[in-house]
Structure formats: C-alpha cells, structure tokens
Amino acid sequence: MAWWRRRRERDREDDFDWFGFGFRDFDVFDDLFEKMMRDLDEIFRRATSGEIKPIVRGFSIRIGPDGKPEIREFGTKEAGQGVEERKPLVDVMETDDEVQIIAEMPGVNKEDIDVSASEKSVEIRAEGENRRYYEVVDLPCEVIPDSAKARYNNGVLEVVFKKKYPKKSDKKKIKIE
C-alpha cells in the first residue's frame, strides 16, 4: 500500500476538526493528490526502466531594447530516429556598436561547435558525444559577419559581432570660452 493511502485512511479515522472543517471535507483534494501521486509513480517507473527519456524544457524572459518582453524557449526536442536535440538557452545583448550572443551548451567540446552567421541571423550547431544542440538566432540589427569573435568556456558560448550601422552619438563637444 502506498504511503499516501495509509495516511489518508489514518486521517479519516482521526476525523480531526480544524475550525469546523473535518478531513472528510477535503476528499476532493485528497482524490486529486492521490491521482497525481499515481501518475508520478508511473512516470518515475517509465523513466527508470529506460522507456522514456528525460525531457528538458524551459524559457527565458527579458525586456528587449524596445521595452517589450522577449520570450525564448529552450530544451529538448525529438530530432528523428530517436536522436535528442536541444535548443540552447540563448541571450542576445546589444550595445551601441556590438551585438553579443551567449548560448549555454553544456556537455559538448569546443571542437564540436559550428557557428555560421549572416548579417541578420546566427546558426549554432553542436554535436557532442551525448548531446546535440541546434538554434537559429535572429539578430536585432544587421552585423558584420567577418567581425565575429567567439569563445567557449565551461559550457557557455559567447559570440560578439560589430554592428553594420553602429549608433552614432548625438553629442557634440562644446567649446568653452
């Protein structure tokens, strides 16, 4: 007998009363919890037997330069023939004259990473021994692909581009007489 069923039967016998609400009033919640526990037990059983693979899913939210929130997804997806492909967690930052891309891709070596860029997007591909990553990142402005500098350290890829049309400062030096 599962531990939550034993607890449920013990609680019914006590019929403890909190401010006029006995445990019998919580049967709906108790039934829902019992169903969730059965489902969770089934998921763990299937995962430990190798029947299903772990799933990694998530998203990041940041405020873009225009003041609107940007939502980016990352995680595992099925790439065909049982090969697992992940979308890396990617962040794009823009300064006056540069665009910086940071992608988290743990579990691959520097030699496994392939980055290619156009003026408007960057394609990141990595295929390690145990993991595969793929993502196309749309850039917030046009960049000079030949200016790219990339480095990979501790599972984090950083790529920096010079902007094709950097923002010029409107400031003008004023001579003091």
Asked if residue 91 has pLDDT above 80, the reply is: yes
Residue-level pLDDT at 76: 66
Asked if residue 39 has pLDDT above 50, the reply is: yes
Reference 55, options 87, 103, 81; nearest CA is 87
Top-ranked range on mean pLDDT: pick from 4-18, 25-39, 46-60, 159-173: 159-173
pTM as predicted:
0.56
Residue-level pLDDT at 21: 54
144: β partners: 162
Asked if residue 85 has pLDDT above 90, the reply is: no
Q: Running DSSP on this structure, what letter comes out for residue 120?
A: S
**Region 63-163: CATH code:** 2.60.40.790
Instruction: Output 77 or 60, whichever has higher pLDDT.
Output: 60
CA 8 from centre of chain: 38
Residue 123 contacts residue 116 (beta carbons within 8 Å) = yes
Per the listing, tokens 């492909």 go with: 85
Residue-level pLDDT at 11: 54
Residue-level pLDDT at 68: 81
Reference 122, options 108, 96, 140; nearest CA is 140
> pLDDT tens digit string along 103-122?
999 889 999 999 999 999 99
Q: Quickly state the pLDDT bin for 67 (edges 50, 70, 90).
A: confident
Classified as helix, coil or strand, 26 is helix
Residue type, 142: E
What is the C-alpha to C-alpha distance for residues 10 and 71, in angstroms, rounded to an integer?
47
Asked if residue 81 has pLDDT above 50, the reply is: no
> pLDDT tens digit string along 126-147?
988 778 899 999 999 999 999 9
Residue-level pLDDT at 69: 80
Helix%, strand%, coil% for the chain, nearest 5: 25, 45, 35
Name the packing angle between helices 27-48 and 3-14 (round to 10°): 170
Instruction: For the chain, give the mean pLDDT.
Output: 79
Residue-level pLDDT at 72: 73
